[in-house]
Structures are given as C-alpha cells and as structure tokens.
C-alpha cells in the first residue's frame, strides 16, 4: 500500500485530504498535535471518518519535536500542512509560533525527508507570500504580514533542500472555504453571525476587499495531483486558486441569500497585513497538474452552510 503522511491532518484542509486519500486506497499516517489555537474537539470531529478507516493511523505529536527520521520510510509521499495559520495572529509575540511551527517545523520535515529518501514533500504555502502583488502580472514574493514572511521562508527552505535532491512542491493556497473551514475565517464567522445567537461579525474595512476563493475539494484534488501525479524534477510553485474573485460584500450578500437572514456586523478599520485584492495565476497549475477548480462560489457556500447548520451552537 502506498503511504501518504499528512501533517496537520486534523485541521480543515488536512482532514479532507485524508478522507479523499483513504477513498483512493492509500494508507494515511496523520500527524497533529491538536493545539488549542482553536477547539481541539472540533479537530477530533474533523477526523471522525478517517479514524473509522482501517488504513488510517493517527500520531498525536508535534512537528517541532517528533522524530520524523524514524517515522518516514523511503518512497513515502509527505503532505505537509501543519502550521500556525492566520495573518492577524502573526503580529507581535504571535510571530514566535510562526517561526517555530511554520519555519522550524518545515525545516525538520525537509531534513528528515532528505535523510530517509521520501518520494516527495508537497507542502502548503500561501497567497500571503505575494502581499499586495497577487493581482496582476507584476506578482512577486513580497509579503506584508509576519505570517506571509514565514510561508515565504518555507519556500526559500524548499529551494535549499531541492538543491540537495529532495522533491518538493510548494502549493500556494488562495482563501480556502467549505465544510470545516477554520472558525477564525470570514465565511465561517459570517454564517455564525447569520444564524440565531448573538455572535457578531467583525467587518474590517469597507468590505470591498476581494479574494480568490477556493473550495476545499478543489484544493484537495490539486494537492493529491501535486503529491502523486505531477511528473516534475525542477522546483516549481503552484497557485491553487478557485478561479472566483469576489468581494467580502458579495460574500455577505450570498450568505444572506442562503441563510435568509442578515449577518450581524460590527465595523472596524482595515488591519495591517490584509491585502485589498488577491488573485491567483493558475496557467502553469492547469498545465502541470491538469487541474482546474470546478466549484462555483454559491455551490461551495451552500455546502459549507449545510455542514455548519446542524453542528452550530450559536456563540455569544
């Protein structure tokens, strides 16, 4: 059985990736430390289906300390998703977690991957590395948040370890949404602010900021192709974007249509670190991965709503 190792397996994207790989008959070894950045119970719930599968093994451990060299085997494919995400939490002392989890944790995986001769490490980078330049042909690696810097540093590490012979694929995810979306992310919050309860959505800026939104199943498909099917020896990074640009105001409007009620909103100024626009450039992704996102924003939001509706305890 072909082994897939997933770090951050209990998270939003990792748990979907695990389920899909199990469906395709891979053996999945998942690592997660269930940190308290958001509720660990939510993460256990994310893993419900994987845990019930005979080809799944969960290792509850920390990527900063686990002995990867004794875990990885020659020929393994590693999907490295564990990180401290979230732009706003990366300011101030929050950057220490970005350094230790995102940068150091990633370097440990690359080092052990090289030593044990794994097949490939496909890892989660982010649109945040582009800062305000992710909108046109002039895109550059120019982060405007400490989180973006941490992901750019991971890509720099990739060039170093690729040079030494490790097969690596950086995947620059653009705002991912869908069932199990992290509770700090805008759509999850907007749905909560629309459902009965007193939770209010903190709208930062005037809502005209736009994002390229990518449905989680599309992200999973691209990630699997990058890990298992991509035939490449050079180091190439791929934008994983859903092909849908919408403003936050557009999303608010759609969520209102789906839930039938207006989200409760408080207004705040735009914080530093959030670009006005993000837009993916997916030509090389389409060609190399033979992949194109196929989920419309309204369909994706609807499926996120259905999965949230029955589980949500309205929060104060």
| String marking each residue 236-275 x if it binds ligand NAD according to CB under 6 A | ----------------------------------------
Q: What angle do CA 273, 263, 214 make, to 5 degrees?
A: 50
By CB under 6 A, tell whether 182 contacts ligand NAD. Answer: yes
By CB under 6 A, tell whether 101 contacts ligand NAD. Answer: yes
Closer CB to ligand NAD, residue 262 or residue 271? 271
**Of 134-142, 171-179, 242-250, 282-290, which part binds ligand NAD (CB under 6 A)?**
171-179
- The answer to whether the beta carbons of residues 171 and 223 sit under 8 Å apart is yes
Q: What angle do CA 73, 77, 81 make, to 5 degrees?
A: 115
Exposed, middle or buried: residue 65 (CB in 10 Å: 0-12, 13-18, 19+)? exposed
Sign of CA dihedral 35, 159, 16, 260: positive
Which is nearest to 56 in space by CA: 118, 116, 117, 14?
A: 14
| String marking each residue 31-50 x if it binds ligand NAD according to CB under 6 A | xxxxx-------x-------
Closer CB to ligand NAD, residue 14 or residue 113? 14
- The answer to whether the beta carbons of residues 214 and 173 sit under 8 Å apart is yes
Mark whether 104 is an active-site residue: no
DSSP state of 94: G
Given 126, 133, 210, 285, the residue binding ligand NAD (CB under 6 A): 126
By CB under 6 A, tell whether 30 contacts ligand NAD. Answer: no
By CB under 6 A, tell whether 178 contacts ligand NAD. Answer: no
Given 14, 146, 179, 263, the residue binding ligand NAD (CB under 6 A): 14
By CB under 6 A, tell whether 224 contacts ligand NAD. Answer: no
**Of 25-33, 229-237, 278-286, 287-295, which part binds ligand NAD (CB under 6 A)?**
25-33
How many chain residues interact with ligand NAD (CB under 6 A)?
A: 28
Beta strands in the chain (DSSP E): 3-7, 27-32, 56-60, 77-80, 120-126, 168-173, 176-177, 201-204, 210-215, 238-240, 244-247, 265-268
- The answer to whether the beta carbons of residues 21 and 55 sit under 8 Å apart is no
Which residue among 147, 161, 177, 199 is the active-site one? 147
Closer CB to ligand NAD, residue 85 or residue 300? 85
By CB under 6 A, tell whether 227 contacts ligand NAD. Answer: no
By CB under 6 A, tell whether 82 contacts ligand NAD. Answer: yes
By CB under 6 A, tell whether 11 contacts ligand NAD. Answer: yes
CA 211 – CA 200 distance, rounded (Å): 21
Helix axes 248-259, 297-309, angle to 10 degrees: 50
Strand 176-177, strand 210-215: pairing: parallel
By CB under 6 A, tell whether 146 contacts ligand NAD. Answer: no
In angstroms, give the least distance from the CB of 210 to ligand NAD: 15
Closer CB to ligand NAD, residue 119 or residue 180? 180
In angstroms, give the least distance from the CB of 89 to ligand NAD: 11
What are the distances in angstroms from CA 37 to CA 78, 94, 158, 173? 24, 11, 26, 20
Binding site for ligand NAD (CB under 6 A): 8, 10-14, 31-35, 43, 62-64, 81-85, 101, 105, 124, 126, 173, 175-176, 182
Question: What are the catalytic residues?
Answer: 147
């Amino acid at each position: 059985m072909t082994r897939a190792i997933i770090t951050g397996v209990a998270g939003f994207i990792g748990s979907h990736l695990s389920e899909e790989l199990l469906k395709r008959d891979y053996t999945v070894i998942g690592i997660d430390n269930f940190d308290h950045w958001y509720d660990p119970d939510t993460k256990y719930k994310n893993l419900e289906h994987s845990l019930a599968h005979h080809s799944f093994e969960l290792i509850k451990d920390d990527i900063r300390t686990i002995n990867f060299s004794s875990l990885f085997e020659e020929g393994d494919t590693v999907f490295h998703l564990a990180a401290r995400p979230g732009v706003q939490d990366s300011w101030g002392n929050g950057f220490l977690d970005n350094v230790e989890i995102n940068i150091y944790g990633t370097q440990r995986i690359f080092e052990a991957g090289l030593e044990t001769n794994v097949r490939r490490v496909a890892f989660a980078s982010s649109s945040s590395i582009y800062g305000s330049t992710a909108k046109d042909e002039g895109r550059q690696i120019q982060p405007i948040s400490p989180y973006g810097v941490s992901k750019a540093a991971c890509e720099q590490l990739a060039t170093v370890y690729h040079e030494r012979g490790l097969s690596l694929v950086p995947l620059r995810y653009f705002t991912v949404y869908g069932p199990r979306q992290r509770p700090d992310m805008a759509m999850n919050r907007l749905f909560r602010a629309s459902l009965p309860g007193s939770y209010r959505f903190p709208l930062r800026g005037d809502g005209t900021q736009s994002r390229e939104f990518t449905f989680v199943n599309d992200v999973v498909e691209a990630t699997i192709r990058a890990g298992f099917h991509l035939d490449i020896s050079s180091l190439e990074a791929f934008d994983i974007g859903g092909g849908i640009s919408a403003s936050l105001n557009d999303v608010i409007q759609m969520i209102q249509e789906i839930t039938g009620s207006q989200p409760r909103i408080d207004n705040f100024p735009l914080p530093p670190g959030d670009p006005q626009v993000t837009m993916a450039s997916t030509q090389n992704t389409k060609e190399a991965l033979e992949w194109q996102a196929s989920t419309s924003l309204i369909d994706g939001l609807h499926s996120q709503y259905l999965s949230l509706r029955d589980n949500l305890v309205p929060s104060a």
